Amino acid sequence: MMVFTGNANPDLARRVVRQLHIPLGDVSVGKFSDGEISAEINENVRGKDVFIIQPTCAPTNDNLMELVVMADAFRRSSASRITAVIPYFGYARQDRRPRSARVAISAKVVADMLTVVGIDRVLTVDLHADQIQGFFDIPVDNIYGSPVLVDDIEDQRFENLMIVSPDIGGVVRARAVAKSLGVDLGIIDKRREKANHSEVMHIIGDVEGRTCILVDDMVDTAGTLCHAAKALKEHGAAKVYAYCTHPVLSGRAIENIEKSVLDELVVTNTVPLSAAAQACDRIRQLDIAPVVAEAVRRISNEESISAMFR
C-alpha cells in the first residue's frame, strides 16, 4: 500500500499516513506556465496498491484535474490498483435534471472522468446524495463522518439535547445521529406559503429550553444553518450548535456565521479551513483522519467497510 496526495488537502493526507504508520508517497504536482496541471511520480509504484487522497474542494476544477492527471500517471506507471480517496466530492449537488431543465448532470460527468483515467475504486466521506454511487461503473465506498461528530457531542456532555435536521432532505442523516445518541429529533420544514412571499420555517418538535444541534453533510454559505439557528432561538431553544462534515464555507459564510445566533459550528477536516475560518472563534474542527485511515487499511486488506459502522 502506498498513499499519495495532491495540493487539495496535504495535511489530511499526512494525518492519514501517520495513522497507517507508513510514509507519504513522493509525487510532484504543479502547473506549467499556462496553468496546465502536471504530475510526476518520484518513486517506483509498479505493482503497488495506490491510494490518492484528494478532495475536490475549491479550487474545484484545479483539484479535480490534479486527481485525474495523477491517476493517469499512476496507471501508466503500472500501479496494480488505484483508489481515489475523495473525502469531499465536488459537483455532487448536480445529480439530476430538476423539472427536465436543460442542465448537465455534472456528478455523472465527474464519475465518468474518474473511471476513464483508470481509477479502480473510489472512497468518499458523506456523499451529498447516496445515489451518486450509481453513476460509477467501479466500486464506491461511502463512509460516514457521523461517528466523529457523535463522539464529540458525547464528550461535550450537552444537557437537554435535541438533534435537529435543518431541512426535510437531511432527516435520514439527523435521525441516525439522534438514534446513536438516544435523544429526540426535531425537523425544520421550510416552505413558501404563497408565490413572492418569503420562506417560513416550521419547527417540528418542541425546542423550548433545549440544546439543539443542527446536523448536515456540508456547510457552504451557511445561510441555511444561520436561518435555522435563528428560527430555533425564536422558538425558545437555549443553545444552538451545528455539526457538519464538510466545511466548504464559500462566499460570505464566515460573515454570516459571525453575525448569526449560532453558538458554535463544528466541522471535520475533509476540507482545509481558510485563514478566515481558522480565525473565527465560533468554528471548531475535528480530525477525521482515523476514520479515513481505517477505511484505507480495510480496502487494502480486502476487509469489510460496512463493518466499521455496525
Is 223 assigned to a binding site? yes
Is 26 assigned to a binding site? no
123 touches 295 (CB < 8 A): yes
For residues 152 and 169, give the distance between their C-alpha atoms in angstroms, rounded to a whole number.
Answer: 24
Those residues whose C-beta lies under 8 Å from the C-beta of residue 195, and which sit 6 or more positions away, are: none
User: Residues with catalytic annotation?
Assistant: 190
For residues 129 and 290, give the distance between their C-alpha atoms in angstroms, rounded to a whole number.
Answer: 23
Those residues whose C-beta lies under 8 Å from the C-beta of residue 272, and which sit 6 or more positions away, are: 8, 9, 11, 12, 57
Would you call 283 helix, strand, or coil by DSSP? strand
For residues 137 and 204, give the distance between their C-alpha atoms in angstroms, rounded to a whole number.
Answer: 40
Is 128 assigned to a binding site? yes
Partners of 2 in the β-ladder: 50
Burial of 309 from C-beta contacts in 10 A (0-12 / 13-18 / 19+):
exposed
Please name the amino acid found at residue 243.
Answer: Y
Is 118 assigned to a binding site? no
Any idea what the Cα angle at residue 168 is, between residues 163 and 173, rounded to 5°? 50
For residues 298 and 300, give the distance between their C-alpha atoms in angstroms, rounded to a whole number.
Answer: 5
Is 167 assigned to a binding site? yes
Is 224 assigned to a binding site? yes
Is 25 assigned to a binding site? no
Is 222 assigned to a binding site? yes
Phi (first) and psi of residue 130, to 5 degrees: -60, -30
Is 94 assigned to a binding site? yes
For residues 68 and 180, give the distance between their C-alpha atoms in angstroms, rounded to a whole number.
Answer: 37
What separation, in Å, do the N-terminal and C-terminal C-alpha atoms of the chain show?
A: 26
Is 35 assigned to a binding site? yes
**153 CB neighbour count, 10 Å cutoff:** 22
Is 36 assigned to a binding site? yes
Binding-site sequence positions: 34-36, 93-94, 128, 167, 192, 216, 220-224
Binding-site sequence positions for ATP: 34-36, 93-94
